[in-house]
Amino acid sequence: MSDAGVPQRGLALHLSDDEMQRIGDLLYRWSGMIFGPSKRYYIERRVADRMAKKGFSTAYSYLAFAATDGTEREALINAFTINETYFYREDHQLTALSREILPAVIRDKRPGDLVRIWSMPCSSGEEAYSIAIWLLENWPLVDAYNIEIVGSDIDTHALDQARVGRYAERALAKLPAAVVEAYFEPERGHRRKIIDDLRESVRFVPANIIERSTLGGLGMFDVILCRNLLIYFDDASRVQAARNLYASLNHGGFLCLGHSESMSRISDAFVMARLEDAIVYRKS
């Protein structure tokens, strides 16, 4: 599949306006995320890397290939996703989870019943593992119920990292020292790996919030944390995401968004609830 003049990996590529439009359209259709001319340099670097890796000399031929090859589509999406996160991010919502959300969820459940929590996008695992650690540390009834935590992301490379559970100091910076010692094993180079018991307690699966066909196998949830994703969507993609989030929640279930996101501007299907520690949305 090699062409003459393949760009060297890591070098920028100049895309025509038509090629920029083409890659933007593909990424939007596949992920719901908007990549326009203002992100030209970002786009060109990532497309050039994929072209070099696959042996293409023209963006046109590469994009035609990516549009028809599922594996390359996945790799290209992975190249454009943003995975900047850390443990205990927006911990006021974790406080709300243990103080008010889960107590409301279990009112209609018996001890031993299943409580399902979905973290998406979960990036390289910090978001989903944070939920597990927080509940072990802060919710006295954590052992009284069957807690299932599912982490999902469109980035399959990030999911592979999540399953391994190895993190640098920066990701752990907000965790109390005692929590780090209890749940992470030290490794070389100031890195730590999450303990096996905790790693095995969270299931990681690929999912695309704007494609309902990728969500059906996940089942229904009592709580969904979908934080700092909708800010990358346009109005149409946000509406589609809202529909899929609503369809994935049990009756009376809770949805938590990022601090700069508001479901009230997207959909009237949810009821906003002002809790002591956070604003959340419920399926009525």
pLDDT for res 4: 44
Buried residues in 225-252 as b, exposed as e (16+ CB within 10 A): bbbbbbebbeeebbebbbbbbbebbbee
**Is residue 138 within 8 Å of 102, Cβ to Cβ?**
no
**What count of residues does the chain have?**
284
- Give kind and range of the element (H or E) at residue 138: helix 126-138
Higher pLDDT, 283 or 284: 283
Q: What is the pLDDT of residues 130-171, one digit of tens each?
A: 999 999 999 999 999 999 999 999 889 899 999 999 999 989
State pLDDT tens for residues 170-225.
899 999 999 999 999 999 888 999 999 999 999 999 999 998 888 989 999 999 99
How much is the pLDDT for 263?
93
Q: What string of DSSP letters covers 37-95?
A: GGGHHHHHHHHHHHHHHHT-S-HHHHHHHHHH-HHHHHHHHHHH------TTTTHHHHH
What DSSP state is assigned to residue 6? Answer: P
Write down the mean pLDDT value for the chain: 89
> How much is the pLDDT for 84?
67
Question: What is the average per-residue pLDDT within 244-271?
Answer: 93
DSSP summary character for residue 130: H
